[in-house]
Structure 1
Amino acid sequence: MKKLLIALALGLLTSSSAWAEISFAILPVEGKGGVSQVQIGEAETSLYKNMIESHKFKIVDRNRIQAIMQEQRLQTSGVIDPNKIVELGKIAGADKLIATTLYKDSSGDVVASFSVIDITTGSVERTAVEGTSNFTASDQGRMVAANILNSYPLLGEILGVAKGVFIIDLGQTHGLKPGDRLFVERKTQLLGDDGEVLFNEENRVGQLEVVKVSGDRTMTKLKSSVDANDPPAKGDWVSPEPIPMKDAVVSTTPLLPNITEGKLLLEDEMDQHYLVVNEGKGEAYRRGKLHLDATGNESIHAYTHYPPPWNNLDNFIIEGDVEFQPIEGKYQSMAIEFRSSGGYIESDSYFFLWYNDGEYRLGRYRQGKSFYILKGFTSPAINPGLEKNHFKVVAVGSKIDCYMNGKFVVGFEDEYWERGEVGFLASSGGYSVVDDVKLWEPVQR
């Protein structure tokens, strides 16, 4: 029987600092099916911009990629060959390649398909198609970036610990700031006595909080530990995103049954005009209510978010009234958006959305792209048509419960977004009215 050895990642795994910033080479976008050179350029520029501004990755300079391809006499359509991938990637010093094709579908909408290719293996490790109706080529480039951002976390390493201060190798260049939360993971391997890797394991160790940031180093303190006797240590991996990555968990019963309203933070009867509606038609405030009129919008919501001091909420209870207004189309939706940051176009947030036919959805936005946690379900608690609905969202930590008209609809648990703005989104082509919003501090019963 083979003797098993447990080796910590610090000693036997590739150093995590090597993976703190994955290096991507973005191939020139290939155009097919009627797209113009202008559209190709817009998609490529948007992809570069959003990848670079994420502060998560090293991006090989566009001119460098073009020069290498010319020197090696490579065409975009031919680089998919594994041998060509390894050749180009090694010359560029990249870990992975992004190959994107832009084309028009049968409806005339611009669509972007992409693949992420690993340089070491030459294999395609991720592929998807982004084809949101009425989106521009630039929008689709942003959607490709969002998909990649959602799939590859930024990873750093605990370099050392001194008097309760944890030093990590991520900093301002990676977008960190004081108060940010970091997840800590420990990787282990089970090895046989011949050195063969028999099993890899990744376990959550705890969370850190950013205290002080420099260019590429950060001082942090312990926020929580899974095991008080086994806190984070030198060599553990850290990330501003949940690691190990976990899927959101949906619940059909309340996750926060013992949470109730505490201090009233806001009572908005729509007479103080706190909110500014973006991309909406007409006056925002009419007849004592907030109007989000997105009729005529082809691909953008009418949207609004509460300003300071209600723009950095973590735990809260929000409730209010919403009424759909008559429109020409058959369907429309309304969403409560919360823990939102990054603005509308590049929003990172959660949303609870419902339609005028009783369907509801849960999801999170990443760089403005929706990733659904749950969709396609209906609830008798949601009043159909133009009837008024009273919504309520309870959020404490990673747990969120959603109610309509005093009845529980759905709950979910997810660690991605910790705090941010709260607001409303009326679907493109839709028209909703909001009134009597209250915002509470949650407390235990």
Structure 2
Amino acid sequence: MSFLPGKNILLGISGGIAAYKSAELVRLLVKQSANVRVCMTASAQAFITPLTLQALSGNPVHTELLDPQAEMGMGHIELARWADVILIAPATANTLARLTWGMADDLLSTVCLASTARLIVAPAMNQQMWKHAATQHNLQTLQHRGVTVFGPAEGVQACGDTGLGRMLEPADIVRELASCCATDQLLQGVRVLITAGPTREAIDPVRFLTNRSSGKMGYAVASAAVSMGADVMLVSGHVALDCPAGVSRVITESAADMLNATLDAAKQADVFIATAAVADYTPVNVADRKIKKNAATLHLEMQRTTDILATIKQTYPNLFTVGFAAETHDLMTYARSKLERKNLDMIAANSVADGKAFDQPTNALEVVWKDGHTSLPEMDKHALATALMQLVAAQYLQRKQPTHDHD
């Protein structure tokens, strides 16, 4: 079954050699009965002509920011309102940078700013440009804003280099797009509560104990849930991340603070996903003044913190609850034990041995539920979050209660 018939797809084409593939992409989208309109940058027209794409799409090609033929002469507003999806393929390094910085001096970039449509980019560039820190930073920023990334692929490039940077083949892009559209509204109206990031346990007014969690996985899960139609509340520790678009966020400090905020938010939740790295122990006594460096050693008496995940599940037994387990060894053993011990609906386990996962752009998960298990291989955390949320949505919709029952 195709999920593209009747979809209004605005195909943005930027100036790279992969633009020649855009003709085939338009043909395949039209074949899927999608409504296709094309927007080209000036440099894209050096690689392929608007006339070719007009013939294939059956619609005039848009190239000018202020188009006198457009509605009220404001082509960008007309296109922004029309599109269900904006797909930029190829998306060059320059285009990604311009989107990151919110440029609006040509038609394509302006439409992207003016539209609420889902934005998808299919990168295409030299392998070294793809690996450059600036490009990777731009991609991460866009993904945090909810932009979906297709690819790139690996192989021989037009310049003769070999590596990551090739645009996905048109058939693969259409397949990925159909998959996105199929899951877009799986969680429409579902209230999803997510915890993310580390907690801070105070020692004195200037020092605290924390951990290496960056919050990237939890924030990616929040973005994926929003893209599937969910109403998302994010309870987060202190992280160096922007709040994902469409997400409501509460920043907390300690494990106790996060527990209180989560208990309060859980009253209205349908799904709870606990990705936060919560401290297991906290100092018994917190000094009211900075501890001076007088003694050769310092002894801290620690006490257990309240288990947020277990407390939420005990308080709201009908709340569909997904736990996370970060382990250095015996991953599946600990994951299944935690699933059963805390009566969870699902658990996503990942290895943190040898520097994996924490503050890294990629991760891999073993996702376990009572009568099933799926391995999600190492991939970008945003792609991984989408795959995880598809599993969560499938299990939630299968098991959800006929009424919302946790008072």
TM-score of Structure 1 vs Structure 2, range by shorter chain: under 0.3
Relative to its length, the structure with more strand (as a share) is: 1
Relative to its length, the structure with more helix (as a share) is: 2
TM-score w.r.t. the length of structure 2 is: 0.27
Higher relative contact order (CA 8 A, sep 6+): 1
